[in-house]
Structure 1
Amino acid sequence: MARVQGFTTRASIFALCLAVLSACAGRPEGVLIPQQVRTANTSKVDVLVATTRRPAETPGVLFSGERGKGAQVTEISISIPPDAKRKIGQVQWPSRLPADPAKEFATISVTPLTPQSAHGWLGQNLTKSRRVLVFVHGFNNRYEDAVYRFAQIVHDSKADVAPVLFTWPSRGSIFAYNYDRESTNYSRDALEDMLRRLAKDPKVGEVTIMAHSMGSWLTVEALRQMAIRDGRVAPKIQNVILASPDLDVDVFANQFSALGPQHPRFTLFVSRDDRALSLSRRISGNIDRLGQVDPTMEPYRTEFEKAGIVVLDLTALKTGDQLNHGKFAESPEVVKLIGNRLIAGQTVTDSEVGLGDRLGAVALGTAQTVGGVASVAVSTPISVFDPATRRSYGEQVQRLGTAVGNTVTTAAGQ
């Protein structure tokens, strides 16, 4: 049995490697070398990037996957091709350098900043909403991966925010899982410090944190530390979005409890077919990963309801991601939800994910029996588990069932 399990694990790693290598194939090195050529109808995204990585010696790489001394800050401007030339949800990597801005992402400028000039950047880039979106990437990400992916998310979501990226030392290798995990621990203090600085800035109105994969561990740990040091998470940090969180469910329960009663709103993106999290589960003692649970099943259903955590189940959603680990960024519907509703802390219900007025749909994504007369089965690529709206859905369905039942009874009497 042990040999079979070992073979299965090696086979999973091999399949994962093939998927990662095919995704990285054809990317030139040095995409962050600035170029001044721009094309009509392109868009520009300015990102403030803070990192705990060590500077790289290779031009256009900027920062390596090794650990640096202290945090460094850089402003990077990215050109994004016209929407007519690209698929929403995808990063169009250059096939060669210099990039073709008409159809590929391109770096326009790279400006190292001091803490003082970084403070000035924030003042210049805050919108009327005064919102800041902080993105924390996941496992197996190079510096340029994180920069280009975040620029894509900001552009495609049309989020009304000042975008801030926190990138930690990941070696960008499928074989460096343990190193990457320790690098998140190495970066906890730096992320906590950055979040505290943002929250204390009088120009900032509110902060949303969006973390992917292993970056979720780093994010929740930093918030846990802040709550322990300060007695609570800074009030301006109002929303936390965890996409495909690579988190042990038992550990997350303890982390969440440590945040105290005055914690931010939490939204999770989960997918039971996430191949990357399946491998993570195998090498982490076969404990469920938070990003792979079924929110309709116990004990998760009750625990999410008690905690007030909203869960968007993307299992049925199909994208071009071979690992099903990046659906949150590659689905046009999901990135629009992020930009239009989640960052503003608004409730997401079935009407926002394409279910329209079909009242048979409920937040748990299950079929409903209406008044014992009709059963409505719902098929949707995104199911929403929202404890706050479950009751209102149930009441609506119950009222509809009563109305249908009364109609049937009346008709039978006639």
Structure 2
Amino acid sequence: MNGRQGGIRSTGRRWAGLLLACVLLSACAGRPEGVLIPSNLSAPGASTVDVMVATTRAPSPNPGVLFSGERGDRPKLTEISVSIPPDSRRQVGHVQWPKRLPPNPEREFATVSVTPMDGDSEARRWLAEHLPKSRRVMVFVHGFNNRYEDAVYRFAQIVHDSEADAAPILFTWPSRASIFDYAYDKESTNYSRDALEDLLRSIARERNVGEITVMAHSMGSWLTVEALRQMAIRDGHVAPKITNVILASPDLDVDVFGKQWSEMGEHRPRFTLFVSRDDRALSLSRRISGNVDRLGQIDPTAEPYRTEFEKAGITVIDLTALKGGDRLNHGKFAESPEVVRLIGTRLVQGQTITDSQVGLGDRIGAIALGTAQTVGGVASAAVSAPIAVFDPATRKNYDERLNRVGRALENTVTTATGQ
């Protein structure tokens, strides 16, 4: 009987967690339907972001929705322009959703135009018109529980706020946008692997394209890494132009990621992970996925991750101490002005994040400021910086500097206490 009661309590806790997540994610329920209907409105100082959208979703009969959460029979391409309010009227890192339609472009995101694209020739035309002098392309893959419009507006926000010098391409897969359809969404990523692989290969084949950065969020990380793994198996390697892969809050089993990583072969892109140990969405995912660590929630200072990431050459950016804009702490990468600009000004450009103002320098600074603390407080100070970077290329140098600071603090404390 006790075992049965324990099982009932355990089941109750699981459902309570699901219901809590449902409540936390229900904020979008009050949004008007049909935000993708072009408004033809403009505002002084507003910016426009043009995105090419590839999707494996089924078309929706609603012209303001465009594509549903069901699976389409073949990939479709659409060019969408989104108006973003003047920076003086909005908070960087956030999507200002319309409260009603038509939207107010002075304070809210608005759809400017929607143009269906027919075939590769139009895709090449769009790419030729939007490829910057840097010749870079950024492909974004959204995560679990996203509608088509969610993905479009979020990516437009990331492109604008990051100031990324790259042609923006969104890949959106069939998500029913329901917390209770986790399994359906996961299978939809599997359904979309070939399409993402084909898209990346097609972009890489374009002569004028120089480098490709792929950025994925949450469950989209599984889809992205699977597509790259398939490409490596089919072609013998990942396309060389795919130079950077950014996984933000990756909802990915760490054991599975290890296998995917090894099967990509020796010539892999540079990987950067954004992790946060207080990510509540990944805590829920962990519980319903066999209680195996999720890649986006690991502690990069703990073993075996510390050593394994060093061997693999993977950079980990720990956002645990950074205050998130949502109660699930699952979207810090896009909601923090500092982080989203870091993506555009450094990661998309292929720069290694090491001894920068948001990297090891801040962590050393945080320790140095703690001279009045005990040596035991040094460790906590080291991880209390809002953004902590763990880069294999400089870890040894950082450890040496950390040890020197620690010894200096120990001498200071010993002198002050007379011990």
- Tell me the TM-score normalised to structure 2 length: 0.91
Q: How does 1:215-230 map to 2 (within 5 A)?
A: 215-230=220-235
For residues 63 and 296 of structure 1, do their structure 2 counterparts lie closer, same or farther at Cα, with a shift above 3 Å needed? same
Superposed CA deviations along residues 18-58 of structure 1, whole A, max 9, x for unmatched, are 0111x203210000000111010000000000000000001
Specify the code of the residue in structure 1 equivalent to 2:57: R
1:56 paired to 2:21:
no
Q: Which residue in the other structure is 2:207 paired with? A: 202
**1:352 to partner: Cα distance:** 3.0
Say which of 59, 71, 75 aligns to 1:71: 75
SS at match of 2:144: coil
- 8 A contact 2:363–2:385 mirrored in 1: no
Give, in whole Å, the separation in 2 of the partners of 1:354 and 1:177: 35
Q: Which residue in the other structure is 2:41 paired with? A: 37
Superposed CA deviations along residues 170-227 of structure 1, whole A, max 9, x for unmatched, are 0111111000000000000000000000011001000000000000000000000000
1:84 paired to 2:88:
yes
Structure 1 residue runs of 5 or longer lacking an equivalent are 408-414
For residues 200 and 3 of structure 1, do their structure 2 counterparts lie closer, same or farther at Cα, with a shift above 3 Å needed? same
1:276 paired to 2:281:
yes
Q: Which residue in the other structure is 2:8 paired with? A: 3
Specify the code of the residue in structure 2 equivalent to 1:320: G
Give, in whole Å, the separation in 1 of the partners of 2:158 and 2:39: 22
For residues 74 and 375 of structure 1, do their structure 2 counterparts lie closer, same or farther at Cα, with a shift above 3 Å needed? closer
Q: Which residue in the other structure is 1:315 paired with? A: 320
Specify the code of the residue in structure 2 equivalent to 1:134: V
Give, in whole Å, the separation in 2 of the partners of 1:322 and 1:296: 25
Q: Which residue in the other structure is 1:383 paired with? A: 388
For residues 406 and 191 of structure 1, do their structure 2 counterparts lie closer, same or farther at Cα, with a shift above 3 Å needed? same
Q: Which residue in the other structure is 1:182 paired with? A: 187
- 8 A contact 1:187–1:218 mirrored in 2: yes
For residues 317 and 119 of structure 1, do their structure 2 counterparts lie closer, same or farther at Cα, with a shift above 3 Å needed? same
1:111 paired to 2:115:
yes
Q: Which residue in the other structure is 2:398 paired with? A: 393
Give, in whole Å, the separation in 2 of the partners of 1:301 and 1:400: 21
- Tell me the TM-score normalised to structure 1 length: 0.92
Q: Which residue in the other structure is 1:140 paired with? A: 145
Give, in whole Å, the separation in 1 of the partners of 2:94 and 2:104: 16
Give, in whole Å, the separation in 2 of the partners of 1:406 and 1:66: 64
Q: Which residue in the other structure is 2:298 paired with? A: 293
**1:399 to partner: Cα distance:** 6.6
Give, in whole Å, the separation in 1 of the partners of 2:64 and 2:314: 40
SS at match of 2:132: coil
Q: Which residue in the other structure is 1:247 paired with? A: 252
**1:395 to partner: Cα distance:** 4.0
1:24 paired to 2:19:
no
Say which of 233, 236, 247 aligns to 2:238: 233
Give, in whole Å, the separation in 2 of the partners of 1:150 and 1:181: 21
Structure 2 residue runs of 5 or longer lacking an equivalent are 1-5, 413-419
**1:154 to partner: Cα distance:** 0.3
Q: Which residue in the other structure is 2:103 paired with? A: 99
For residues 303 and 361 of structure 1, do their structure 2 counterparts lie closer, same or farther at Cα, with a shift above 3 Å needed? farther
- Range moving further from structure 2, 188-197 or 5-14: 5-14
- 8 A contact 2:252–2:294 mirrored in 1: yes
Give, in whole Å, the separation in 1 of the partners of 2:18 and 2:220: 21
Give, in whole Å, the separation in 2 of the partners of 1:389 and 1:337: 19
- 8 A contact 1:310–1:386 mirrored in 2: yes
SS at match of 1:240: strand
- 8 A contact 1:350–1:361 mirrored in 2: no
Give, in whole Å, the separation in 2 of the partners of 1:375 and 1:15: 36
Equivalent residues, number? 402
Say which of 260, 269, 278 aligns to 1:264: 269
- Range moving further from structure 2, 25-34 or 146-155: 25-34
Give, in whole Å, the separation in 2 of the partners of 1:111 and 1:63: 13
**1:385 to partner: Cα distance:** 1.0
For residues 196 and 98 of structure 1, do their structure 2 counterparts lie closer, same or farther at Cα, with a shift above 3 Å needed? same
Q: Which residue in the other structure is 2:176 paired with? A: 171
Give, in whole Å, the separation in 1 of the partners of 2:362 and 2:18: 43
- 8 A contact 1:137–1:212 mirrored in 2: yes
SS at match of 1:353: coil
Give, in whole Å, the separation in 1 of the partners of 2:240 and 2:267: 8
SS at match of 2:62: coil
Give, in whole Å, the separation in 1 of the partners of 2:229 and 2:359: 35
- 8 A contact 1:355–1:361 mirrored in 2: no
Q: Which residue in the other structure is 2:164 paired with? A: 159
SS at match of 2:180: coil
Say which of 315, 325, 344 aligns to 1:339: 344
Give, in whole Å, the separation in 2 of the partners of 1:284 and 1:398: 39
Give, in whole Å, the separation in 2 of the partners of 1:183 and 1:83: 36
**1:294 to partner: Cα distance:** 0.5
Give, in whole Å, the separation in 1 of the partners of 2:406 and 2:89: 48
When you count helix as a share of all residues, which structure comes out higher?
2
